[in-house]
């Protein structure tokens, strides 16, 4: 996982990148969970194939995001976000994830992006199989500020060279199984409170 160091000042988090190991990628061997296309469903042209694949990807139970680290004793003030995405069964396609952190703005009662608690797209592997990846953000709450409720958003992309074939986003939700990185083991939540 890669970690960002963030500071909360007057309701705004400022983040500074801190080195950690690269994004952890784990291939799932659950291709059978993705429904195969029937021979009659596949159209001869490329555009029709992509539309059918897009529907299967969107409906897959392997498409999810979760908070797998929330202020544990050994990682204080850290929020970890993990995503899972199904493969599109095409070895020449590449899958990407982008991780963002949001906080609940108590004044507007809306989720607000932490402008510097966001990362660009990271390659997670070939489209042949399902993948998981994660990113952690370390926050520095300012003394005297109230606690903040945070959530993550993961945006998933399937690309063929420079062409984006499909893109979806998921907000973090509980009850997910991270293959690596959760702290404590098995932890999965929709939100995290830091402060």
Q: Are 26 and 84 in contact (CB under 8 A)?
A: no
pTM: 0.73
What is the full DSSP assignment across 77-115? TEEEEEEEE---SEEEEEEEEEEEEEEEETTTTEEEEEE
Cβ atoms of 79 and 152 closer than 8 Å: yes
Mean model confidence pLDDT for the chain = 78
E strand or H helix that includes residue 51: helix 46-59
Q: pLDDT digit string (tens) for 43-88?
A: 344 544 444 468 889 999 999 999 999 999 999 999 999 999 999 9
Between these two residues, 96 and 117, which has the higher pLDDT value?
A: 96
CA distance 13 to 141: 8
| Cα 171 to Cα 70: distance, rounded to the nearest angstrom | 16
């Amino acid at each position: 996982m890669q970690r960002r160091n963030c500071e909360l000042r007057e309701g705004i988090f400022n983040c500074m990148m801190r080195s950690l190991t690269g994004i952890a990628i784990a291939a799932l061997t659950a291709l059978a969970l993705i429904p195969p296309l029937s021979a009659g469903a596949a159209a001869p042209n490329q555009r029709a194939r992509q539309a059918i694949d897009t529907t299967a990807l969107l409906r897959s139970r392997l498409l999810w995001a979760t908070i797998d680290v929330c202020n544990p004793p050994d990682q204080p003030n850290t929020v970890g976000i993990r995503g899972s995405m199904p493969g599109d069964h095409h070895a020449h396609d590449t899958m990407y994830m982008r991780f963002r952190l949001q906080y609940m703005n108590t004044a507007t009662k809306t989720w607000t992006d932490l402008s510097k608690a966001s990362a660009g797209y990271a390659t997670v592997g070939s489209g042949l199989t399902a993948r998981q990846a994660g990113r952690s953000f370390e926050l520095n709450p300012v003394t005297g500020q109230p606690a903040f409720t945070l959530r993550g958003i993961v945006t998933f992309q399937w690309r063929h060279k420079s062409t984006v074939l499909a893109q979806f986003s998921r907000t973090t939700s509980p009850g997910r199984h991270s293959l690596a990185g959760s702290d404590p083991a098995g932890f999965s939540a929709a939100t995290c409170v830091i402060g």
